[in-house]
Amino acid sequence: MTRPPRRPTWRAARLTGVRPETGSARTLRFEVPGWPGHLAGQHVDVRVTAEDGYSAQRSYSLAAPADGDAIELTVEAVPDGEVSPYLTEVIEAGDEVEIRGPVGGWFVWRPESTAPVLLVGGGAGIVPLMAMIRARRLAGSRVPFRLLYSLRDPGSRYYADELRRPDPGLDVAYLYSRSTPEGWPRLAGRIMLDDLAEGGWPADFEPDCYVCGPTGFVERAADLLLALGHAPGRVRTERFGPTGG
């Protein structure tokens, strides 16, 4: 009989660097001694503990491939949230939290994979998809990637400079749900069948599709991909709703 995998243990993680992404999101770099490594697409649990001993934990996707003991997370401040405002506004270099992981074995991209890839991200759902884009580049993979990145407005774009730089074999398209840049050819609105038909791969190419974002966005985009003929086993989803959502 095989044993079930052991739950990873909590490790101390020290914040070593911070980069702003937007007015409400920032990337945090932690040093986690003994970090076992991870795959692009996996996430971690972060536990923060107040001086009086009260603690709270939330899940955050790993934003970059494994780099020794260093990991990166990108966190969006949720208004009135318990943990995300602490991570985006309060924690400073040198401070410690606890991290457990990596978690998840299905929503992952492996550099040895040869299928074309479609990434569909809504809001903070870009985070694990960016880890996949970075892992592809790091591995020198020539697998073609397409990213459809849905945002509320032009100011909500994460990783803007990096996604603007040429990356052969990676196509990036933006969709805006609330307001667009001036002169943008597509009206602001929710993701539509045409967006996926034009910006994705034909189902015949048998791409691996990764969809991540708020629950409603993920369900809609996954349904549209199935309507376009993509096989359910090739549409992998990760929902970022509130815990339990």
Ligand X SMILES: Cc1cc2nc3c(=O)[nH]c(=O)nc-3n(C[C@H](O)[C@H](O)[C@H](O)COP(=O)(O)OP(=O)(O)OC[C@H]3O[C@@H](n4cnc5c(N)ncnc54)[C@H](O)[C@@H]3O)c2cc1C
DSSP lists the bridge partners of residue 99 as 11, 46
Size of the site for ligand X (CB under 6 A): 22
Residue 230 beta carbon to ligand X: minimum distance, rounded to whole angstroms: 22
| Residue where the block lists tokens 């892992």 | 135
Among 83, 99, 119, 170, binds ligand X (CB under 6 A): 83
Interacting span for ligand X (CB under 6 A) from 8-16, 77-85, 140-148, 152-160? 77-85
Residue 2 beta carbon to ligand X: minimum distance, rounded to whole angstroms: 25
Mask for 33-72, x = binds ligand X (CB under 6 A): ----------x--------------xxxx-----------
Count the neighbouring beta carbons within 10 Å of the beta carbon of residue 215: 14
Cα–Cα distance between 238 and 108 in angstroms, integer?
10
Greatest CA separation for the chain: 62
Q: Is 8 in the site for ligand X (CB under 6 A)?
A: no
E-assigned strand segments in 77-202: 96-103, 117-122, 145-151, 170-176
Question: For residues 165-224, which are near ligand X according to CB under 6 A?
Answer: 214
The smaller minimum CB distance to ligand X, of residues 38 and 116, is found at 38
Going 174 to 234 to 106 to 166, the CA torsion angle's sign is negative
Q: Is 150 in the site for ligand X (CB under 6 A)?
A: no
Amino acid at the residue 152 = R
The smaller minimum CB distance to ligand X, of residues 83 and 120, is found at 83
The span from the first CA to the last CA of the chain, in angstroms, equals 34
Mask for 122-141, x = binds ligand X (CB under 6 A): --x--x--------------
Q: Which two tokens stand for residue 80?
A: 């009135």
Instruction: Give ∠ CA 108-137-139 in degrees, rounded to 5.
Output: 75
Cα–Cα distance between 176 and 156 in angstroms, integer?
10
Residue 38 beta carbon to ligand X: minimum distance, rounded to whole angstroms: 13
Note the residues at the interface with ligand X (CB under 6 A).
43, 58-61, 74-76, 78, 80-84, 124, 127, 214, 238, 240-243
